[in-house]
Amino acid sequence: MAGKPKLYYFNGRGRMECVRWLLAAAGVEFEEVFLQTAEDLDKLKNDGHLMFQQVPMVEMDGMKLVQTRAILNYIATKYNLYGKDIKERALIDMYFEGMADLSEMIMLLPLCPPDQKDAKVAQIKEKIKNRYLPAFEKVLKSHGQDYLVGNRLSRADIHMVELIYYVDEFDPSLLTTFPLLKALKTRISNLPTVKKFLQPGSPRKPPMNEKMLEQAKKIFRI
């Protein structure tokens, strides 16, 4: 019997959190190896485990997978969360790329210089309200179904709900005019596997704080 997937990253959200969400939603238990120092990252590089000299890395099914999108594609395909045909996969990929653009803005905000932070926050809020959330609300409204693609659960729904939680942390008032997305959040959050992941003590990581940011800067030599 194959062992649990093993996730190599620092003890924070970063680029691994979407992988944690997807594995958890698929009902897959996993182990984590947390990088504590820059030397831990150097060792993975020197041992030849990181194809492009960077994490996230997920060890599963006898492979050492790197590059976040490749990892997500593999997991989604393996656990039937990637649509029923090539057209559905194209939609899922298209939606995910938009979600990733917004998620990246929110994720990188702690690295913004203090004198630029207010302007960056205002820019992100504007894009959330006028570009990204309206697009996904429109998708749900256009077909009136419970899920974003093909009227069944896919990785698009998991990534969307993860992103909605981030927006809610960022500014909960931003969600008030998007009832279909709020309903999607409730629906997906009540799935048993996701509900378990949302409970205290799960592998889900909290928002970045100063201590975590400093550790990440040291590990990745930022």
Whether residue 18 sits in one domain with residue 95: no
pLDDT for residue 102: 96
Domain that holds residue 103: 86-189
Q: Is residue 16 part of a domain?
A: yes
pLDDT for residue 222: 86
Q: What is the pLDDT of residues 37-89, one digit of tens each?
A: 999 999 999 999 999 999 999 999 999 999 999 999 999 999 999 999 999 99
Whether residue 122 sits in one domain with residue 98: yes
Whether residue 73 sits in one domain with residue 90: no
Number of domains in the chain: 2
| Beta-strand pair 63-66/57-60 | antiparallel
Distances in Å between the Cα of 149 and the Cα atoms of 41, 153, 158, 190 are 38, 8, 12, 19
Whether residue 48 sits in one domain with residue 135: no
Whether residue 183 sits in one domain with residue 202: no
Residue 1: pLDDT band with limits 50, 70, 90: very low
Whether residue 115 sits in one domain with residue 205: no
Measured distance CA(173)–CA(187) in Å, rounded = 20
Measured distance CA(10)–CA(33) in Å, rounded = 8
Can you give the pTM of this predicted structure? 0.95
Whether residue 115 sits in one domain with residue 23: no
Using CB atoms within 10 A of its CB, is residue 176 exposed (0-12), middle (13-18) or buried (19+)?
Answer: exposed
* CATH code at position 179: 1.20.1050.10
Whether residue 119 sits in one domain with residue 34: no
Whether residue 170 sits in one domain with residue 100: yes
